[in-house]
Amino acid sequence: MCFDKEHISLIFSTSLPILILWGPVTLSPFYKLTKKHARPSQPSLDLLTIGYKEDYHFWEFLTFLRKLLILLVVTLFPKDQDQNKYMTICLILLASMYWAHLKKPFNHERLNYLEQISFASLTFFFFGLLDILITGETFSRTMFTLVAFFSIVVFLLY
């Protein structure tokens, strides 16, 4: 059975050592990239910073953290709380979309626009799942209203 004592102990016995071992490995490039006036000198770090403005070389790590947070929400929410799970994911995506719109981390405006479109489409998807769970219908009036609202928001952003 999911989330009983044995399952939770298995989760912590496997995930905590991984976090302890790989945490410093993944955070060390983040530390190097966030230093003031530090330019990545290693070609391997250039892969993570190409396309971003000088002040936003760490943005790829924020993307990684957002994906990790969504993965934790999907994994740790119990099966009977799907509505809460999808609403939390939608809130994470909306906050990310708002933050990316404010900061505009990419060198080219087109890339900023494409990131907003990807956030909007992901949010539509999870709102659609949420609406199906709540109403039991595949396409309801609420879903139509949400699609119309987010379409207007995306077009007003640009």
Report the domain count for the chain. 1
Write down the pLDDT at residue 42: 57
Domain extent for 124: 5-157
pLDDT in 10s for each residue of the chain, 158 residues? 666 788 778 777 777 777 777 667 666 666 666 665 455 555 556 666 778 887 887 788 888 888 888 888 888 887 778 888 888 888 898 899 889 889 999 998 888 888 888 888 787 777 777 777 777 776 666 666 766 776 677 666 65
Q: Which amino acid is at 48?
A: L
How many angstroms separate the CA atoms of 11 and 71, rounded? 14
Three-state DSSP class for 106?
strand
Three-state DSSP class for 42?
coil
The number of beta carbons lying within 10 Å of the beta carbon of residue 54 is 9
For the entire predicted model, the pTM comes to 0.64
Write down the pLDDT at residue 142: 67
Write down the pLDDT at residue 105: 92
How many angstroms separate the CA atoms of 117 and 96, rounded? 12
